[in-house]
Amino acid sequence: MVKVVKFGGSSLASAQQFVKVGNIIRSDEARKYVVPSAPGKRNSKDTKVTDMLYQCYALAEEDKDFSAALKKIQERYNSIINGLNLTLSLDEQFKVIAENFKKKAGSDYAASRGEFLNGIIMANYLGYEFIDAAEVIVFDEDGEFEAEKTNKILSERLAKCERAVIPGFYGAKEDGTVKTFSRGGSDITGSIVAKAAHADMYENWTDVSGFLVADPRIIENPESIKVITYRELRELSYMGATVLHEDAVFPVRKEGIPINIRNTNAPEDEGTLIVESTCRQSAYTITGIAGKKGFVAVNIEKAMMNSEVGFGRKVLEAFEEQGISFEHVPSGIDTMTVFVHQEEFEGKEQEVLAAIHRLAKPDSIEIESNLGLIAVVGRGMKSTRGTAGRIFSALAHANVNVKMIDQGSSELNVIIGVRNEDFEAAVKAIYDIFVMTQI
């Protein structure tokens, strides 16, 4: 049995957290490959080491003195090393980093040092081999991740080593230039390593006990999700539920390796298991609720629209011309509505309207702003009757006016549009009807 374990920044923010991580790893033989993030925040006012590195490198780029900023970063690492009683010095590493900053090695290089150094400490603390991600995670000349090359190099390397630490978040181009994934990218590294190691499980350790059925800022102490499929996860993360980097599912998904989200501060909790498919039904008909505010609905009306071939294409072309992507397009007999992000749309509003007039020649266009979209997601909805009915009666009882309903043909989700100000009440009403009444 092989498990790849990735630990997030808050799990590695201090020596105390390192000790918890060490105990977790040592308590299971199978936890052979470890992917650490850079040290995160120790408290809400703290700064992540990654952000400190970006700031420090910005000084270097402007030819300003960055030595004090770099010293502060070294102090963060030294407090971990000393707290763990390790006989390890990062002086040499910091000398090299300072030289490379002077040579303007790039902000990706700068940010990657957070994981690189934490990986060295972790390997030393565990007695595991250290593998520099720059040697095994490959990017092409344009900075695109090279999945196949990486998998080949990395799996050959891992086959030769029993236990190792591979820092997250970065890799390198063939000429050696360091390149990072987008923020939170250590999740992706963990997934890549799990694939290359043919792992049985990818454990992603963070500071929450998995995914929650609803946003804890709206629902007090929401239930957690025990098992979720990749597709459900995608729907929920798209609508704002963030625990795992969106791209982290791709490497393991094809290999059928489940991801287990676990809590470093509560290792006894089972967390959330993310799987390709399952016969385990969720405890409630729904798996989760997520949503976002800040949408605009552009309502387009034209008599006999239904019989005009190409009408929808022309309308969407108007949005495409302005580089605006649409979220949902519910349509009626003589109407079609396009939901877009308010932020993206605002500056280009009049250009889009003019383009719709020019291309589709509608009778009228109306705009409604400040709308929220809520996704109610669940594999159980397919086999349950009355789900939509329950959602809407709950919303009616909560006095929420429903602006839009969109049920995907997969029957995996129902998307509901409400006014921004009704957003929280709507989420609460849906949570209550499914979770509190336990049906």
Size of the site for ligand ASP (CB under 6 A): 13
* Two structure tokens written together for 166: 């591979």
**Window contacting ligand ASP (CB under 6 A); options: 21-29, 158-166, 185-193, 250-258:** 185-193
Crossing angle, helix 15-26 and helix 67-83, to 10 degrees?
50
**CA dist., res. 164 & res. 175, Å (int):** 25
CB of 416 to ligand ASP, least distance (A): 32
Q: Which two tokens stand for residue 33?
A: 């490959």
Q: Does 37 bind ligand ASP (CB under 6 A)?
A: yes
Please identify which residue in 183, 198, 357, 397 interacts with ligand ASP, judged by CB under 6 A. 183
Q: How far is the CB of 233 from ligand ASP (least distance, A)?
A: 18
Nearer to ligand ASP, 10 or 282 (CB): 10
Nearer Cβ to ligand ASP, position 191 or 285? 191
Is residue 185 part of the contact set for ligand ASP (CB under 6 A)? yes
Q: Which residue is nearest to ligand ASP (CB)?
A: 186
- How many whole angstroms separate alpha carbon 192 and alpha carbon 168? 10
Q: Is 168 in the site for ligand ASP (CB under 6 A)?
A: yes
Q: Find the shortest distance in angstroms from Cβ 108 to ligand ASP.
A: 11
Task: Determine if 184 is a binding residue for ligand ASP (CB under 6 A).
Answer: yes
Specify the residue, 120 or 400, whose C-beta has the smaller distance to ligand ASP: 120
> Given the complex with ligand ASP, which of 184 and 288 has the nearer CB atom?
184
Nearer to ligand ASP, 115 or 422 (CB): 115
Q: Could you say which residues in the range 7-36 bind ligand ASP, by CB under 6 A?
A: 9
- Which residue, 49 or 355, has its beta carbon nearer to ligand ASP? 49
Among 11, 186, 206, 263, binds ligand ASP (CB under 6 A): 186
Q: Which two tokens stand for residue 69?
A: 């900023």
User: Residue 369's beta-bridge partner residues?
Assistant: none
Sheet with 31-36, side-by-side order of all strands? 129-130, 164-165, 31-36, 3-7, 201-206, 259-263, 272-275, 227-229
CA distance 135 to 14: 27
337 lies in the binding site for ligand ASP (CB under 6 A)? no
d(CA 59, CA 68): 11
Q: How far is the CB of 361 from ligand ASP (least distance, A)?
A: 47
CB under 8 Å, gap of 24 or more: what pairs does 237-242 form?
237/290, 238/375, 239/290, 239/291, 239/292, 239/373, 239/374, 239/375, 240/215, 240/290, 240/291, 240/292, 241/211, 241/212, 241/215, 241/288, 241/290
Tell whether residue 125 is a contact of ligand ASP (CB under 6 A).
Answer: no
CB 194 within 8 A of CB 251: yes
SS3 399: coil
Residue the block writes with tokens 């098992």: 227
Give every CB contact of residue 124 below 8 A, 6+ residues apart in sequence.
Answer: 86, 88, 130
Regarding 50 and contact with ligand ASP (CB under 6 A), the answer is yes
Q: Does 169 bind ligand ASP (CB under 6 A)?
A: yes
Tell which positions 367-406 bind ligand ASP, by CB under 6 A: none
Closest distance of CB 181 from ligand ASP, Å: 8
Q: What is the contact surface with ligand ASP in residues (CB under 6 A)?
A: 9, 37-38, 48, 50, 114, 168-169, 183-187
